[in-house]
Chain A
Amino acid sequence: MATWDDGVGRDMIRAGCGAALFGVPLLYTMELWWTGTGSSPAFSLGLLAAVLVAATVIDRTAGFRFAPERSWSSSLVDGVEVTGICIAVAAVVLVVIGEITPQTNVRESMSKVIAQLVPLVIGASIANEIFGNGSATPAEPGTGSGSGARQVGSLLGGAFVGAIVVALAIAPTDEVTIIAGRASLAHLLALIAVSLVASHGIVFSADFAGSSDLRRQRHLDELAHTALAYIVALIAAGVMLALYGRLTGVSVLTSWSRVIALGFPAAIGAAAGRLAL
């Protein structure tokens, strides 16, 4: 029986990170929120069934788990698993951005989560093909052979470029304004936490290609790099919002809330940028 140490946990983390990586622009799309709000239970169930079928079919060629051989039964199991992971990712993000609250009834909450599943499941399934390195064991940590300035420059540069690439299309949208406008202190702190966790997971836990070069001698150092990349993502978010005039004529708290709100997709982009660059 497969255990966490066999890479099961890493596969699940990779699926979750892939879902966040590819799904974050649609998680920040109000039309998809409304799709969930207006969906009938029958539509949601049908969409969930379609997602399960799609996840199973995709798994035949590009599953979230590295496997030398795939049968229809194993693909079905993986399809159910990846759908479950994506439900968790969607639920967490929708709660953190204030789209699902304690006042939202269960049917509407489920519909909103299910409406997000299509891009998330595709992202989780194909992340292996795009970013996966297929190693059965974790890569050796980097030994820090490059100069300190070069390492820091690479970290900051890759993070900034990645943040811009992913978050630039989201920065001018009303979704950032809405998420920031309704955010409580708990939402803002949760956004910071989720951004850090997602960023760290993508770079250091999902075993995507390129992560072995970024591994540090100590986990504490990896956490430090994640934190620095998040700060870079926040700076990039602030620059983008300022360029689009989204920080003009509003209170300091509103401006800060918008930076934190855009900081989530920017942090995910920063993580991808560090892997890619």
Chain B
Amino acid sequence: MTGPRPDPSHTDRWLSVIAATVVAGVIITTVTLWVTAPHGPASFSVVTATTEQRVEVKVRNTGGTVATDVVVRATFDDGTETDQTISWLSPGETSSLDFYAPNPDTTVEVTIISYVPDN
């Protein structure tokens, strides 16, 4: 830079303080969230809600790693099996799937058949 610089304005002074504070806040928030978050392999919680033949399945990744190609299998009481795949499930993310039972008021068992951990 050329020539002497004039004294900083009052605005610049408090902007410097605010800027330093918020950037430090961003870094501290990032580190804190990272340290306190779960970091284990992907794990899943499954909740089902059946309305006549429609079975709504909500799959949540409760682990700390992204899971891809999560294969969800619905097994109905007559032995019918149906698979659906969730392509991507981030930690804490919930994905909803709809299955349709062959008969009204049938019972269903939902299981996670496989997934690919994304490291």
CB–CB B19/A216 < 8 A: no
Shortest 3 CB-CB distances between A and B: which pairs?
A251-B92, A148-B11, A227-B19
Query: If A181-B90, A251-B90 touch, does A220 touch B33 (CB 8 Å cutoff)?
Result: no
For B74-85 the 0/1 string (1 means CB < 8 A from A) is 000000000000
Q: Which of A137, A143, A192, A228 contacts B15 (CB 8 A)?
A: A228
CB–CB A224/B2 < 8 A: no
Cβ of B26 under 8 Å from chain A: yes
Instruction: Give chain A's interface residues, CB within 8 Å of chain B.
Output: 137-138, 140-141, 143-144, 148, 151-152, 174, 177, 180-182, 185, 188-189, 192, 196, 215-218, 220-221, 223-228, 230-231, 234, 249-254, 256, 260
Q: Which residues from A are CB-within-8-Å of B6?
A: 143-144, 217
Q: Which residues from B are CB-within-8-Å of A260?
A: 30
Chain B, residue nearest A183 (CB) = B34
Number of chain B residues whose Cβ lies closer than 8 Å to a Cβ of chain A:
35
Give, as a whole number of angstroms, the nearest-CB distance from A234 to chain B: 7
Query: If A140-B2, A188-B30 touch, does A218 touch B12 (CB 8 Å cutoff)?
Result: yes
Give, as a whole number of angstroms, the nearest-CB distance from A212 to chain B: 11
Q: Which of B7, B12, B27 contacts A192 (CB 8 A)?
A: B27
Q: Which residues from B are CB-within-8-Å of A218?
A: 5, 8, 12
Say whether chain A's binding surface is mostly helix, strand, loop, or mixed: helix
CB–CB B93/A227 < 8 A: no
Q: Which residues from B are CB-within-8-Å of A231?
A: 19, 22-23, 26
Instruction: Give chain B's interface residues, CB within 8 Å of chain A.
Output: 1-3, 5-12, 15-16, 18-20, 22-23, 26-27, 29-31, 33-34, 37, 66, 88, 90-94, 118-119
Give, as a whole number of angstroms, the nearest-CB distance from B33 to chain A: 4
Give, as a whole number of angstroms, the nearest-CB distance from A174 to chain B: 8
Query: If A181-B90, A217-B5 touch, does A224 touch B20 (CB 8 Å cutoff)?
Result: yes
CB–CB A192/B9 < 8 A: no
CB–CB A181/B118 < 8 A: yes
Can you list 6 pairs linking A and B with CB atoms under 8 Å apart?
A: A196-B23, A225-B15, A227-B22, A252-B33, A252-B92, A253-B92
Q: Which residues from B are CB-within-8-Å of A225?
A: 15, 19
Question: How distant is the Cα of A231 from the Cα of B24 in the complex, in angstroms?
Answer: 11
Question: How distant is the Cα of A188 from the Cα of B26 in the complex, in angstroms?
Answer: 11
